[in-house]
Amino acid sequence: RVQEISEITQGLKALAKELSVPVLALSQLSRAVETRDDKKPLLSDLRESGSIEQDADVVMFVYREAYYLERKEPQPATVDHAEWQSKMNDIANRAEIIIGKQRHGPTGNVFLEFEAMFTKFKDIPNN
């Protein structure tokens, strides 16, 4: 499977160069993310092959802390639940785009507003 993914990523890179067009490829993350306390994805979390990381010019991850936090809801009517709810209120509509690799530029993070009902990302309004 690793060899197959490597051939695919090399083919996509060759296609992008030949046609002078951007090619967007999606990848699952490995389960390693689930075993860490910090759930923010890393380049090493790309599933199946290091060739995805190697061949890509840009690697971006979408991270939403609320996705993980909502799965850890404590018992209602407890102090833990009140703290959890406060944290959820702070992060519920937030997303982070993590630029994990950019061959010709800087890496970093971009913070966005997330509308779950529409699976829509927007600039965060200035207050």
Is residue 73 domain-shared with residue 110, that is, in the same domain? yes
Model-level pTM?
A: 0.85
- At 2 the pLDDT is 78
Contact (CB, 8 A) for 42 and 27? no
Domain count, the chain: 2
**Does residue 49 sit in the same domain as residue 96?**
no
Q: Are residue 100 and residue 50 in the same domain, yes or no?
A: no
**How far separated are the first and last CA of the chain, in Å rounded?**
49
What integer pLDDT is reported at residue 120 of this predicted model? 96
- What is the structure's pLDDT at 75? 92
Q: Which domain holds residue 65?
A: 57-127
- pLDDT at res. 47: 77
On the 0-12 / 13-18 / 19+ scale of CB atoms within 10 A, 41 is: buried
Angle (CA) 97 100 106, round 5°: 95
Q: Please give the backbone phi and psi of residue 90, each rounded to the nearest 5 degrees, phi first.
A: -70, -35
In the prediction, which pLDDT does 127 show? 61
Q: Which ranges of the chain have pLDDT less than 70?
A: 49, 127
Q: Are residues 50 and 61 in the same domain?
A: no
Pair (47, 74) in one structural domain: no
Same domain, 62 and 28: no
- 113 and 63 in one domain? yes
Same domain, 93 and 64: yes
Co-location of 48 and 61 in the same domain: no
Whether residues 82 and 107 share a domain: the answer is yes
**Could you tell me if 78 and 106 lie in one domain?**
yes
E-strand stretches of 1-127: 58-63, 94-102, 108-115, 120-122
- Tell me the CA distances in angstroms from 26 to 8, 72, 108, one per residue in order: 12, 27, 19
Looking at the structure, do residues 10 and 31 belong to the same domain, yes or no?
A: yes
